[in-house]
Amino acid sequence: MPPRTEDEPVQTPPYHDDADSEREDESDDEGEEARMLRTLDGSGPEVEAAPGAALSHPREEEELLKPPEKPKPIAWRDLPQKQQLLVITLTRLSEPLVQTSLQSYMFYQLKWFDPTLPDSVISSQAGILHASFTAAQFITAMIWGRLADSKRFGRKTVLMIGLLGTCLSCVGFGFSQSFAQALFFRCIGGATNGNVGVLRTMISEIVREKKFQARAFILLPMTFNIGVIIGPILGGILSDPAGSYPGLFGDVEFFKKYPYATPNLLSAVFLSCAALSVWLCLDETLDALREE
């Protein structure tokens, strides 16, 4: 190193204290954080990825881009509690079958009560008989709903009372000898029957998963329509067997005395079988009684 002359100024290194070093470190950290934030929110410059980095997880990217799969439709075989639903459908089938079977012979039965009445009066009586069942059912529906929710009765008991009451009504109607007797037994059948609301409630309590409830609730109107189809056919075939089939039943005194008892007795058999299946196979769905 050459010797320094007197005229040459003395060069001193810049002075850095500890505070300056800390400030520089902080500024470097702040710059690094700002770069990271710009990269994360996308406002900063794009970072060049290493070769092959974009293709590191192609399957994950495809899964994210795929639209969500639609849920598969529920099939009938997927319904839970099939035995319980079968008992409920049999119970629902018996009632429209009984009610609609009357339509095919009610006019002739009323004419048989009093042949001297004109057709206009017979038509009025037929309308009254049809309305009496529904009117009595409307009056007592709230009562049966309360009893079905009580611990003393529950769902099963109310169902059995409704089925047995309708069974008694059918037998009495078949053996009636006058319009007043027929009207009385029709009112008895409607007053003791509040099963429609109870059946719907039981389906919602048996099938608790919402994805199955749409299929389960379709069973009730579907079964009702089947009963509406079968009922008038059976009523027309079985009414007045002595007059319809004189070669077979023309000499049977029972069919001559009670010509319209046969379809009602068959309806009573259906209702009795439904009541027996409810008693033996149907589980109580009221939570208060199920826990006991």
**Domain harbouring 268, CATH code:** 1.20.1250.20
**Residue with structure tokens 């409830």?**
213
Residue 8: both structure tokens together:
């040459």
Residue 217: both structure tokens together:
């609730």
Give the pLDDT score at 67.
Answer: 64
Domain that holds residue 190: 94-291
Whether residue 34 lies inside any domain: the answer is: no
pTM above 0.75, yes or no: no
DSSP 123-165: HHHHHHHHHHHHHHHHHHHHHHHHHHTSTTTHHHHHHHHHHHH
Domain total of the chain: 1
Give the pLDDT score at 31.
Answer: 53
Residue 231: both structure tokens together:
């009922």
Give the pLDDT score at 53.
Answer: 46
Radius of gyration of the chain (CA): 42
Give the pLDDT score at 68.
Answer: 63
Whether residue 23 lies inside any domain: the answer is: no
Whether residue 268 lies inside any domain: the answer is: yes
Can you tell me the distance from the alpha carbon of 136 to that of 187, in angstroms, rounded to the nearest whole number? 6
Whether residue 191 lies inside any domain: the answer is: yes
Give the pLDDT score at 36.
Answer: 47
Give the pLDDT score at 170.
Answer: 94
**Residue with structure tokens 């001193």?**
12
Residue 42: both structure tokens together:
């996308």
Burial of 235 (0-12, 13-18, 19+ CB in 10 A): buried
Sites in the chain below the pLDDT cut of 50: 1, 4-10, 12-20, 22, 33-34, 36-56
